[in-house]
Chains A and B, each alone.
Chain A
């Protein structure tokens, strides 16, 4: 049980670190553009393993719950340190799963920043787990040879068959529940499972143009600006441009199937058509290896701008998309133009573009 829970938590931790790195890249980190489905896979794993960890954690906590009332509560300094590490571990893992599940539903009943707290407490959980394992390491069973647990030890007393059956039933319940929870939520990424996804707030293929939406145009406060005939996409560089939507459509277009994958766990692969970003940067006189900062019509919000590093900016599949599925973008998908790039978190696929700045 502990090993499976540990594997789920480790998967959550590593994929979470990767997601955080992609969303908040330090200056030295250039987001890779391949594989195109990289973030779809890593974030899908992050959310699925987090959901599956909930029943496993509860089962583990219920197994050890009676130890909470062990007497005396503290036997030595080492024992106190071990119990403190367990308390930190339990608190941090519960916190991570509760806030993660709430974030998947975009529910934030707390006063602090989800991103900052979820990231920091993940490190606390990892550290507490290491300390807990260190405290328990000498108790790991030896599997061969002499010493306690070795082959020379006498056979242990047999236990009643009913007790073994109860133990198997408990494990089957825990793992069966974890499997069922995964099955009932994976449809937000795996389209054939969409009809079963009663635990997922979004489902692959459901939405305008068969694509879910995290934030609508109305929720972003850009609806009124979308029909403005004075709209221009400004490309700021050595030779700055201001292009109308018609002029954008006259430029050479590229069509490519790319997934859009959101931090909440849902993803969907659709066919996008638009102008390769690198072509626009070249028209603006950007040097080789340039980065770009794209900006939205949104007036507020942490993701109204995003950086496109050199690798993704130069990739031919990174588009300023004007259409999806062969039709002009729906307002909720970023009309008149949006960024779509391979292997990029959904929150950084900026919608309702109005500005591209060569960096």
Chain B
């Protein structure tokens, strides 16, 4: 364990150092400052805007008096939101001007259609996950169902012979 940790630290420091050196060498100090600005903007954009919107929406859905709808609405909102994030660059890009082979980015209607189609995929995935869970001893005792609380490893809890530990991965 200790040797692995030392190796990881060494590899991490070398990779980080090479990345910073490479950035400075190729982008210069001014370009590196611009990159740093975008690095920070990404974190602020997620932690300060996107995550609060998601958690706020989740809070509202969880307190909705309509019991059936939110089960589908949540995944649908997530999928549509992710698709929106992915097509915004295509909407903004000038690449399509004068190039007929650039396919128009998905319209809002197409996204809704794709979202509806994906409900089937999500439903199937949910069904499969449910069946896998139902066929496993100890099913029904896995983790927590809210963001931030589901950090327990399912395999580690089989028959109570193993205790779940915090997920070490990022």
Given A65-B47, A91-B40, A201-B90, CB of A137 within 8 Å of CB of B17: no
Q: Which residue in B13, B46, B94, B151 is a CB contact (below 8 Å) of A61? A: B46
8 Å CB contact of A62 from B42, B55, B114, B167: B55
Does A54 reach chain B (CB closer than 8 Å)?
yes
Chain A neighbourhood of B90, CB < 8 A: 105, 107, 199, 201
Distance in Å: Cβ of B160 to nearest Cβ of chain A: 3
Residues of B within 8 A of A88 (CB): 16
Complex partner residue of A149 from B45, B110, B162, CB under 8 angstroms: B162
Is B153 in contact with A181, judged by CB distance below 8 angstroms? no
Q: Report the Cα distance A136→B170, complex, angstroms.
A: 9
Closest chain-B Cβ to A130's Cβ sits at a distance in Å of: 3
Determine whether the beta carbon of B9 is less than 8 Å from that of A139: no
**Which residues from chain B contact A132 at a C-beta distance below 8 Å?**
170
Contact string against B for A residues 131-168, beta-carbon threshold 8 Å, 1 for contact and 0 otherwise? 11110111111110000111101011011011111111
| B145 interface neighbour in A169, A207, A219, Cβ under 8 Å | A169
Contact A134 B9 (CB under 8 A): yes
DSSP majority for the B interface? helix
Given A68-B47, A107-B90, A111-B31, A55:B78 Cβ within 8 A: yes
Does A2 lie within 8 Å of B13, measured CB to CB?
Answer: no
Chain B residues with CB under 8 Å of A110's CB are 34, 38
Closest to B6 in A: A134
Query: A135 → chain B, closest Cβ, in Å?
Result: 9
CB pair A156 B160 closer than 8 Å: yes
> In the docked arrangement, what's the CA distance between A279 and B51, Å?
60
A271-310 residues with Cβ-Cβ distance < 8 A to B are: none
Assess whether B143 is in contact with A163, with CB atoms less than 8 Å apart. Answer: yes
Given contacts A67-B148, A113-B27, is CB(A140)–CB(B5) below 8 Å? Answer: no
Q: What band does the interface of chain B fall in when counting residues whose beta carbon is under 8 Å from A? A: 35 or more
**Is B141's CB under 8 angstroms from A167's CB?**
no
Complex alpha-carbon distance, A129 and B35, angstroms: 19
Question: If the complex has contacts A54-B85, A137-B8, A162-B145, are A117 and B35 also in contact, measured as CB distance less than 8 A?
Answer: yes
B95 within 8 A of A: yes
| Inter-chain contact A180/B12, CB cutoff 8 Å | no
B1: A residues at CB distance < 8 A: 137-138
Closest to B142 in A: A164
**Given contact pairs A64-B148, A127-B16, A219 touches B129 in the complex (Cβ within 8 A):** no
Q: How far is the CB of B119 from chain A (nearest CB, A)?
A: 9
Tell me whether A2 and B170 are in contact (CB under 8 A). Answer: yes
Contact of B156 among A63, A124, A141 (CB under 8 A): A141
Residue of B nearest to A117 (CB): B35
Contact with B along A1-44 (1 / 0, CB 8 A): 11101100000000000000000000000000000000000000
Give every chain B residue within 8 A of A173 (Cβ-Cβ): 74-75, 78-79, 122
- How many Å lie between the Cα of A12 and that of B107 in the bound state? 28
Contacts of A206 in B (CB 8 A): 101, 103
Number of interface residues of A (CB under 8 A): 117
Establish whether residues A172 and B129, one from each chain, have CB atoms under 8 Å apart when the complex forms.
yes
A residues within 8 A CB of B166? 139
**Is A224 at the interface (CB under 8 A from chain B)?**
no
Question: Which single member of B5, B43, B122, B150 contacts A134 (CB below 8 Å)?
Answer: B5
Question: In the complex, A141→B45 CA distance in Å?
Answer: 33
CB closest chain-B residue, reference A173: B75
Across the interface, which residues of A come within 8 angstroms of B150, CB to CB?
A: 63, 166-167, 170-171
- The complex places the Cα of A69 from the Cα of B64 at a distance, in Å, of 26
Q: In the complex, are the beta carbons of A120 and B16 less than 8 A apart?
A: no
Check A87–B43 contact: CB distance below 8 A: yes
**Per-residue 0/1 for B69-99: is the Cβ within 8 Å of any A Cβ (1 yes, 0 no)?**
0010011001100110111011011111011
The answer to whether A184 has its CB under 8 Å from any CB of chain B is yes
Q: Which residues of B contact A62 (CB under 8 A)?
A: 51, 54-55, 147-148
Partner of A127, one of B12, B103, B129: B12
What are 24 A-B pairs at a CB distance below 8 A?
A62-B55, A94-B43, A106-B94, A107-B94, A107-B95, A110-B34, A123-B18, A127-B16, A129-B170, A130-B12, A134-B8, A137-B168, A148-B163, A161-B140, A165-B130, A169-B74, A171-B150, A181-B86, A199-B90, A199-B106, A201-B95, A202-B101, A202-B103, A212-B101
Q: What 7 pairs between A and B have smallest CB-CB spacing?
A: A166-B145, A2-B169, A123-B19, A127-B16, A130-B12, A155-B160, A127-B15
